[in-house]
Structure 1
Amino acid sequence: MKGRVSALVAGAAILALAEGISSYSAQSAAPAAATVNWSTYGGDDKEQHYSPLQEITEQNVGKLGLVSSYDIDTFDSYTQPIAVNGVVYFAAGLSVIHAVDARTGKLLWQYDPDVASQPEAKWRLRAGWGTRGIAYKDGVLFTATREGRLVAVDAKTGKPLWSAKTLDEAENGYITGPPWVAGDKVVVGFGGADYSPTRGYVTAYDIKTGKKAWRWYVVPGDPAKGFENKAMEAAAKTWTGEWWKFGGGGTVWHAMAYDAKYDRIYLGTGNGWPWNQKIRSPGGGDNLYLSSIVALNAKTGEYVWHYQVNPENSHDFNNAMDIELADMMIGGKQRSVLIHAPKNGFFYVIDRQNGKLISAGEFAKQNWAKRIDPVTGRPEINPEAQYPGGKPFLMYPFPNGAHGVQAMSFSPKTGLSYIPVMEGGRVFVDPPNVKEWQYKPGMFVNTGLGAPPANLVPPTASSKLVAFDVANNKIAWSVPQPGVFNGGTLATGGGLIFQGTNDGNLNAYSAANGRKLWSYPVQNGMLAAPISYTVGGKQYVSVITGFRSSFPNSPNWDYRQQQRRLLTFAIGGVKKLPAFEPVDDPIQDDPAFVIDPGKAKVGAGIYNGSCVICHGSGMMAGGAAPDLRKSAVPMDAETFTSVVRDGALMARGMGSFAQLTDAELEGLRHYIRQRARESAQQAK
């Protein structure tokens, strides 16, 4: 039943839920019989993706086995669960919350916020990305819906408690990241600054009532309207031109962290819109507070300090990656630090008290900066990286980043941070005439860049798992991994690192040296990080399987055949997954369909601007959406129109592209048939 609890099963696990459920201290191990929960995205307030549990160790991890499995009926499971007193909670697809008994895999209840029927969903579902997590405090779950609501749900029953519309000032925004609890507030951001003029902000709500407590804007608005606070007034001095007409960007679409020691919320802010600074701020400038860590007073939302990672950002570099907190010895002194490994390839250690840089070392290949000045904290930018005078530049890392949103972890026992690293390049170049660049509405990625020269092609991207020595600012070890996109990591007190890889295996590595100790084939790639917790004093590890990419992979996890599941493991588990044999669906075609090259050219422009992120580069899908070459939908014009323009499949995550004309839809059909026949010919 939409908008309400769709299933409710009374049982001991549900009755065990109580107010004041404990979270572990990430710096110390809990007693064996204690309940150790995973109650935030990163485990607890430190957000380290670290569990102190020690039952599973290097010596016995070989005895780890499956204890329960729950199949998720969804189109997208790129999400991380939380676990509280034996119940695993997660949101999948269109923010549908599930409560599952960890030991049995039995569904206890499900809450569907009915995203597809909301008027705002037609546009906001076009973003294509699913939800990545939820939040919890004092018996209440918080989920953010794609089309812009923040919803509080009772963790015992699944009944909604309150709902707030948070995108009231972001017409073209959408939400994919988790909310974050900060004391008695719940804070939520949003995304959308790749597609349209958008001004980023975050909003805090009272966790009990849903009443708005404060809102903080990331970038300054129109000076003629005045500034909301002194932080915005100061930021305006770092912009030029008429930036407010471009929105500015700076959306906080994923990572935050709450620091109980200072009662602050830290924001990881996004890139500018468009990417190319020569368009949005033609006279240059740092463009605050893009690509920054910003500290705010959690009670009032007042600015405390900021550290800008990428001033003058023209590269889609953002700070949406993990913000993790630690207390550790550095240089013989105990420091309260914030650790952060964003897209740009540098690992930052920042003093939480004042926002000053402690260290910044390279954890991956990069060529955009010569170094980070240890005194000023500013990067010495490589002039070629700004692609001046129309000169192309092959830059590392690529826009996916050296580290994406797949979680890194930090172990206070080893002092190492474990990062899923990608190494790939992209050619950056200005459009033919920067001053004449025009915004393309309708779900086009508006980079403000030109087409790279045909003879300048980046080498094939690769990946690895990197252990970074935080105190000593250097790589401790690294191991190569399959493909490019792999899952987030979990560090444990038992000396293990758990991570899912895109070859379909959940792996356990030695935290000390990266040696692989255990592997379990889960029949799907994984992007979400595993979690660990106890039920009745026994340690469990859970992970959600599901893979998506804008690029084809090997193996390629077909959208329709993915085994999206919640899997839970423990020592002595003996359950088996059902046998699975993937089927390679044939490319569809109708010999009577005559391709018009002119129409196909129109369709190519639409596809590469609006469809490529979900349906794949070159129309070779990477698991995020169906492979259109193999789909019967484009074969019939009426069916194709009902899906693409009218939103017939919105409940399965396919938004409505109502702006497309009949000619553009027909062009897409011709381009799809063209690519299908080219692919069939190449396969012969």
Structure 2
Amino acid sequence: MNRIGTRGVLAILAVTALAGCNRAPAIDPAADGGIGLDPNNWPSYGRSAGEQHYSPLDQIDTGSVPKLGLAWSYDLPASASLTQPIEADGIVYTSTGHSYIRAFEAATGKLLWEYDSKASEMSGHKLRQGYGSRGLAWSGGKVFIATQDGRLIALDGKTGQPIWTAQTVAKDDNAYISGAPRVFDGKVIIGFGGADGGGVRGYVSCYDAATGKLLWRFYTVPGNPAVDHDETTKLAAKTWHGEWWKKGGGGTAWNAFTYDPELKRFYIGTGNGYPYNHALRSPGGGDNLFLASIVAVDAATGKYIWHYQINPGEQWDYKTTQDITLATIPIDGKPRKVLMQAPTNGFFYVLDRTTGKLLSAKPFVKVTWATGIDMKTGRPIENPGARYHGRDLFEMWPNIVGGHSWLPQSYSPKTGLVYIPTIQRGMIIGDKGLDLSKEQLPVHPANVNAGMGVTGSYLPDFKDQGSFLRAWDPVTQTARWSVKLPGDWPGGTMATAGGLVFQGRIDNRFNAYDAGSGKLLWSYDTRSPVVAPPISYAVGGKQYVTVITGTGGAGGGYHGKGLQAFEVDYRTMARRVLTFAIGGTATLPPAPPLVPRVAPADPDFRRDDTLAQRGNIAYHIACGTCHGGAGMAAGTAPDLRISPVPASRDAFFSVVRDGALVPAGMPRFDDLPPDQIEAIRQYLRTLGQDLPKAK
């Protein structure tokens, strides 16, 4: 069979099944991605061109799933492990930490090769942005990876040897890559992040998969109209005001890329602007295209076709970087080619992917910033005051992490439902008293954007907060069923032709639900949180399910406070590749003992609340996203309240200023003034000594 790695060509096809494994149900064409995509492989992030996160295999189904057992496991070192593996031709590939790649024999777990991209060491200040690699892709015998420092690399899938490397962003700007590349029709698509720290103009690049040659580039925000004459600047500059290009504009596309081979188009989901505050970013207003938009471009040339903007003049970090799912569903009794997205602003959108016309939009979580979407104009009906200009801090839903973060939803053509890992949480936001004439960042690039006061997910607790697995009907725009989940950081989902939905949980469970009813059918104690999305594939007529344990991403920082009850510890948390099959009999060792959250030894500590308060502010700008609000980490990085490092000035400066732990993923803050480093150290020591004393 001619396999077209990741994106394939969409077509209605009957899948030739492995005997006893895949009975080839009648499925939507977007589920398999087209002619040549082997149903037994999972070679890309969403598996197919439609980004459905759906497997057509059904050996593991509602009847046999209780017999699912562990087939093999592999222990990973401490690092960010919140990534999805891929599988092709009997080999499972993983990317953990900052693009450290491993290849395993899929049926046995035998390690075949390893490749270290050295991204941590090569990233410099870019290491302050992002949380490591979120995925990789396979096509034509090559494995494609993207690194924090902006390299796109093609590896030989059999040996792990580099074939070519392309530098996709400048080495000294604020752009970085965390998302998975996508491959289609011999081309590789990659974007980048960085609009939370400033100084970048978003774009998406397309490369030749065989050679690494740049084929085209589409800018997601306009440049300086006086010198930039690209298509985006001509189309979008009139929707901006001031001199936005001096700050870059933002609009980075770091996660949502979907290829439509039927229409030969590519759909790009774009991010927030820089700075967040509309008044600071674009004085005089304007929609600021193409921020917070889904943009359709020609796959061969990168030329603009259409766009839909979810939040004109976006200023809440509401973005369309969540996965874009393709499907054919009945609208008004007729099949309609659609794209579906549950972005961060809390509304579920269904668009006609041929024209970009909005077909429907309804809230899937609690929303207070708008009352709805105007179906005539496609624009949101914003509530008075939602733009927060001149307002004291007030409560607004959803928060900056969003009603749905980047962890993927899945879609089953059999049930017609979208399975969304949802987050229901508000934020406290406002800009009264802020000096909007300038950016006030104590370190560049910072981990917190400029121009608004926001507590985001750090504080406070809200009455209706929580996370859910929601089965969403995109035709009726209603929840068919919903499962309350522990904590505020739900795992990515996978649907299968066996009538199942798989999802991991922060409380060390990996679950399988009935896709039609939401009934829990199977649960496994993973001894560690599971947040990464799983995959399924078949080798030798046997279906497998693989997932990576451990937490990371924004979950351990933004949601650290809400995850304290689960006592997730960066240093002791087990990170493993787990692979399951019917009849599997392998076992896991017991979970390590919990690390007591007690005051560390610090005999020289002297309380200085004034210095600690200065450190509080500097810490939450430079450190809180990874190490947690108020020091309450939950797996993304070590809990510094119980660390012995802050007690030693030499050790703390060695790590923070000199970069002693850069190879482990801890960035160097050599531009942070020594007095601010000392203030952060005092703040952390104070937090530590306020913990209960060891008994």
TM-score, normalising length: structure 2: 0.92
Distance in 2, matches of 1:673 and 1:263, equals 57
Match of 1:448 in 2: 451
Q: CA deviation at 1:373?
A: 1.6
Q: Which residue of 1 aligns with 2:620?
A: 608
Match of 2:237 in 1: 236
Deviation at 1:23, TM superposition (A): 8.6
* Structure 2 residue 542 is matched with structure 1 residue 556: no
Measured against aligned partners, the alpha-carbon deviations of 1:480-518 in whole angstroms (never above 9, x if no partner) come to 111111111110111110000111100000111111111
Tell me how far apart the structure 1 counterparts of residues 58 and 3 of structure 2 sit (CA, whole Å): 27
Amino acid of the structure 1 residue aligned with 2:418: S
Supply the AA of the counterpart residue of 2:468: K
Does residue 298 of structure 2 align to residue 297 of structure 1?
Answer: yes
Q: Does 1:494 align with 2:498?
A: yes
What residue is the counterpart of 1:665 in the other structure? 677
Match 1:572 to one of 540, 560, 583? 583
2:225 aligns to what?
223
Residues 149 and 60 of structure 1: is their aligned pair in 2 closer, same or farther, counting only changes over 3 Å? same
1:13 aligns with none
Q: For 2:396 and 2:3, how far apart are their aligned partners in 1?
A: 51
The aligned counterpart of 1:680 is 692
Q: How do 1:162-561 residues align onto structure 2 when only pairs under 5 Å count?
A: 162-168=164-170, 171-229=173-231, 231-440=232-441, 441-442=443-444, 443-450=446-453, 458-459=462-463, 461-548=465-552, 549-550=556-557, 551-552=560-561, 553=563, 554-561=565-572
Write the distance in 1 (CA, Å) between the matches of 2:521 and 2:74: 26
Whole-Å separation in 2 of the counterparts to 1:27 and 1:362:
34
Q: CA deviation at 1:408?
A: 0.4
- Among 40, 45, 52, the alignment partner of 1:41 is 45
Q: Which whole-Å CA distance do the structure 2 matches of 1:393 and 1:590 have between them?
A: 39
- Mark the CA change 1:361 to 1:627 in structure 2 (over 3 Å): closer, same or farther: same
Asked if 1 retains the 8 angstrom alpha-carbon contact of 2:390 and 2:433, the reply is no
Give the Cα separation in 1 of the matches to 2:252 and 2:531: 22
Cross-structure match for 2:25 = none
* 8 Å contact from structure 1 (residues 413, 493) kept in 2: yes
For 1:456 and 1:389, the matched residues in 2 are separated by 22
The residue type equivalent to 2:323 in the other structure is D
Equivalents in 1 of 2:591, 2:400: separation in Å? Answer: 35
**Whole-Å Cα distance in 2 between the matches of residues 22 and 218 of structure 1?**
24
Q: Which residue of 1 aligns with 2:57?
A: 53
> Aligned partners of 2:551, 2:156: CA distance in 1, in Å?
29
Correspondence for 1:14: none
Residue 640 (str. 1) matches residue 652 (str. 2): yes
Structure 2 contact 265–298 (Cα < 8 Å) conserved: yes
CA contact (8 A) 1:368 1:382 kept: yes
Q: Offset at 1:123?
A: 0.4
Partners of 1:487 and 1:514 lie apart in 2 by 16
Distance (Å, rounded) in 1 between the aligned partners of 2:429 and 2:145: 37
Structure 1 distance, partners of 2:451, 2:258, is 31
The answer as to whether partners of 2:615 and 2:681 remain within 8 angstroms in 1 is: yes
CA shift in 2, pair 1:341/1:170, >3 Å: farther
- Shifted more, 100-109 versus 452-461: the winner is 452-461
Q: Hey, what's the Cα distance between the residues in 2 that align with 1:377 and 1:22?
A: 32
- The aligned amino acid for 1:432 is G
Provide, for residues 123-164 of structure 1, a one-character-per-residue CA deviation record: whole Å limited to 9, x for no partner. Answer: 011125011000111111110001111111010111000111
Which AA in structure 1 matches 2:384? Answer: P
Q: Secondary structure at the match of 1:224?
A: coil
Q: Residue type matched to 1:38 in 2? A: W
Give the SS at the match of 1:208: coil
Q: What secondary structure sits across from 2:571 in the alignment?
A: helix
Q: Which residue of 2 aligns with 1:652?
A: 664
Distance of 1:412 and 1:654 partners within structure 2:
42
**Given the alignment of the two structures, is residue 581 of structure 1 paired with residue 592 of structure 2, yes or no?**
yes
Alignment of 1:11-26 (within 5 A): none
Quick one: which amino acid aligns to residue 380 of structure 2?
P
Query: 1: CA distance between counterparts of 2:465 and 2:3?
Result: 48
**Cα distance, 1:212–1:437 mapped onto 2, change above 3 Å:** same
> What's the CA shift for 1:455?
12
Q: How many Å separate the matches in 1 of 2:172 and 2:414?
A: 43
* Partner deviation per Cα, 1:371-420 (whole Å, 9 max, x = no partner): 11222221111122112432443111111111111110000000000001
Q: Indicate if the aligned counterparts of 2:421 and 2:492 stay in contact, CA closer than 8 A.
A: yes
2:28 — aligned with what? none
Alpha carbons of structure 1 residues 299 and 451: separation in structure 2 relative to 1, 3 Å:
closer
Q: Is this contact kept in 1: 2:392–2:432, CA < 8 A?
A: no
Measured at CA, do residues 222 and 446 of structure 1 come closer, stay the same or move farther in structure 2, by a change above 3 Å? Answer: same
Compared CA separation, residues 254 and 27, structure 1 to 2 (3 A): farther
Alpha carbons of structure 1 residues 18 and 429: separation in structure 2 relative to 1, 3 Å? same
Equivalent residue number for residue 127 of structure 1: 129
1:117 has 2:121 as partner = yes
Q: Note closer, same or farther for the CA distance 1:191–1:23 as it changes in structure 2 (3 Å cut).
A: closer
CA distance in 1, matches of 2:265, 2:78: 36
Q: Is the 8 A contact 2:572 2:592 kept in 1?
A: no
Kept in 2: contact 1:29–1:53 (CA 8 A): no
In structure 2, distance between residues paired with 1:368 and 1:522: 38
Provide the residue aligned with 2:101 in structure 1: 97
The code of the aligned residue for 1:562 comes to M
Segments of 5+ residues of structure 1 without an aligned counterpart are 1-16
Number of residue pairs aligned between Structure 1 and Structure 2: 664
* Change in CA separation of 1:428 and 1:274 when aligned onto 2, cut-off 3 Å: same
Deviation at 1:85, TM superposition (A): 1.8
Give the aligned partner of residue 26 of structure 2.
none
Match of 1:599 in 2: 611
CA distance in 2, matches of 1:457, 1:117: 38
C-alpha separation in 2, matches of 1:38 and 1:225: 44
The change in CA–CA distance for 1:128 and 1:46 in structure 2 (over 3 A counts) is closer
**Structure 2: 5+ residue stretches without partners:** 23-37
Residues of 1 paired with 2:48 and 2:692: CA distance? Answer: 50
* Residues in 1 aligned to 2:393 and 2:650: alpha-carbon distance in whole angstroms: 43
| Structure 1, 387-396 or 511-520: larger mean CA deviation | 387-396
Structure 1 residue 169, shift from structure 2 partner: 8.0
Question: Alpha carbons of 1:362 and 1:450: their partners in 2 closer, same or farther (altered >3 Å)?
Answer: closer
Paired residues of 1:144 and 1:151 also in contact (CA < 8 A): yes
Contact 1:430 1:449 in 2 (8 A): yes
Structure 1 residues 451 and 488: CA distance shift in structure 2, 3 A: closer
Distance 2:61 2:669 in 1: 51
- Residues 657/219 of structure 1: CA separation in 2 closer, same or farther (3 Å cut): same
CA contact (8 A) 1:182 1:264 kept: no
State the alpha-carbon separation in 1 of the partners of residues 525 and 181 from structure 2. 31
Work out whether residues 120 and 148 of structure 2, in 8 Å CA contact, stay in contact via their aligned partners in 1: no
Q: Which amino acid aligns with 2:453?
A: G
Alpha-carbon distance between aligned partners in 2 of 1:300 and 1:530, rounded to the nearest angstrom: 33
TM superposition shift of 1:456: 8.3
The residue type equivalent to 1:482 in the other structure is P
Percent identity between matched residues is 47
The change in CA–CA distance for 1:679 and 1:30 in structure 2 (over 3 A counts) is: farther
Query: How far apart, CA to CA, are the structure 2 residues paired with 1:19 and 1:407?
Result: 24
The TM-score normalised by the length of structure 1 is 0.93
Q: What's the offset of the Cα at 1:215?
A: 1.2
